[in-house]
Amino acid sequence: MDSKIIDGIGLSRQVKSEVSDSVKRLKMETGRSPGLSVVLVGDDPASAIYVRNKQRGADEVGILGETISMPKTATENEVIRVVNELNSDPNCDGILVQLPLPEHIDEGRVTLSIDPLKDVDGLHPFNSGLLAAGKPRFVPATPGGIVQMLVRTGNDPMGRHVVVLGRSNIVGRPLSNLLSLKGKGGNATVTVCHSQTKNIEELCRSAEILIAAIGIPEYVTSDMVSDGVVAIDVGINRVSAPDRKRGYKLVGDIDFLSVSQKASAITPVPGGVGPMTIAMLLSNTLLAARLH
């Protein structure tokens, strides 16, 4: 692999191996393995793939994973009832409700119903509040994975100008909080760009580290980056590819071919941020088990 390409699969193996060792130790100390329950509502094919990968990741590291599948007609109260049962289940350390939920269900209410001590997705306002207050407990998995990628590849964000494209509650906002925290993996100067930002191209060019999380295929082109940029691509977009068996392919928010000519390091899609997200979810589940 080209040395400038950040190998998300290899890095995720590293993290999973560390989690696996800690799970073994925990089991020796307490006699039990951590438990992760994933609630999947409906039949969105992308969500089904993500959930399957999470289950597989849990199996790999010795976490007891279970997937609770509910029909897309499930009501908000029915989903909350399942979450409440998991809240009081002593064998369940971590709860993740796969998003997006069907439109008739209020994601905010469901997230609020999760016990903050089992909220391994880090999306409960209690945990996002702790992060914003500089005392992170469960950090959302994708931002946590990105910080690990930077630190583990010698691209520590300390003192550097990081431009984050996107301000979602899942990626952009927690990531910008995390990068500006005091301490290892933080201490960056962070600019957050979003759909209302005016001079986005100029801001992108001023980035030493550019992280794109907007969901627009190949939005960042080479004229938007400076030589030597570290480019992290969070986007997972399906675009039509009639020559492929499936009829589509996955691309990121960064135009890999052109930006990789200028970047000093860049993540591919697939094989970049995605695998790290799963590894960090497993790491959060281990933390949850330690807190119980």
Footprint of ligand NAD on this chain (CB under 6 A)?
A: 142, 165-168, 170-172, 193-195, 197, 200, 213-216, 234-237, 273-274, 277
CB 35 within 8 A of CB 63: yes
Query: Which of the following is catalytic: 7, 93, 121, 233?
Result: 121
CB of 28 vs ligand NAD, minimal distance in Å: 32
Q: Closer to ligand NAD at the Cβ: 112 or 250?
A: 250
Task: Give yes or no: 121 in active site.
Answer: yes
Query: Which of the following is catalytic: 7, 54, 55, 148?
Result: 54
Q: Closer to ligand NAD at the Cβ: 29 or 202?
A: 202
CB of 217 vs ligand NAD, minimal distance in Å: 8
Q: Closer to ligand NAD at the Cβ: 125 or 215?
A: 215
Q: Closer to ligand NAD at the Cβ: 42 or 274?
A: 274
Count of Cβ atoms closer than 10 Å to residue 199 Cβ:
10
CB of 192 vs ligand NAD, minimal distance in Å: 9
CB of 161 vs ligand NAD, minimal distance in Å: 17
Task: Give yes or no: 118 in active site.
Answer: no
Task: Give yes or no: 98 in active site.
Answer: yes
In angstroms, the CA 23 to CA 10 distance is 20
Q: Which residues have a catalytic role annotated?
A: 54, 98, 121
